[in-house]
Amino acid sequence: MTQNENIIIESGDAIQPFAYSVGMHGSKFFTELRDNRRFMAIKCPKCKKVYMPPRGVCGDCFVEMKDWVEVGPKGIISTFTILRFAFIDPETGAQKPVPYGYGFIKFDGADTLFQHYINVKDETRIRIGARVEPVFSKDRKGSIRDIEYFKVID
């Protein structure tokens, strides 16, 4: 009996391009973020919940939302993790340097949570309830990476 051999068929550099529509709500959110460093959320006319990120429909009430509300830029950490294992960055395909912080931010004035990186320079200051503010990228392009990370300020 010969040794097992794995025959490998590869797809090479083939990619599957896909263009997601960000929609009117995303357009406003990212334009305001890029041009004015403002965070725009949207409020349900029925339950008054302020949604971040903004979208067209309140799922709980099944009604359309049109009332824009500025929230933040400061907020609190609602929950967080510190990644210590190098996962592959879906943006670059490379391994992301560890450790890095990832958390849910509750902006002042918002009712739902916004996820982003949290600076881990001083891990001891990261806790549920800590106040944070965003650090913006210098070169903003209208994407979620226009925010570099959130940092603890208390």
What DSSP letter does each residue of 31-81 carry, written as one string? HHHHHH--EEEEE-TTT--EESS--SEETTTTEE--EEEEE-S-EEEEEEE
Binding residues for other proteins, per CB under 8 A? 6, 20, 22, 26, 51-53, 55, 59-60, 78-85, 87-91, 96, 102-104, 112-117, 128, 143-145
Q: In angstroms, give the least distance from the CB of 36 to other proteins.
A: 18
Q: In angstroms, give the least distance from the CB of 94 to other proteins.
A: 11
Cα separation, 105 vs 33, in Å, equals: 16
Q: In angstroms, give the least distance from the CB of 151 to other proteins.
A: 16
In this structure, are residues 110 and 50 in contact, taking their beta carbons and an 8 Å threshold? Answer: yes
Nearer to other proteins, 115 or 119 (CB): 115
Nearer to other proteins, 111 or 133 (CB): 111
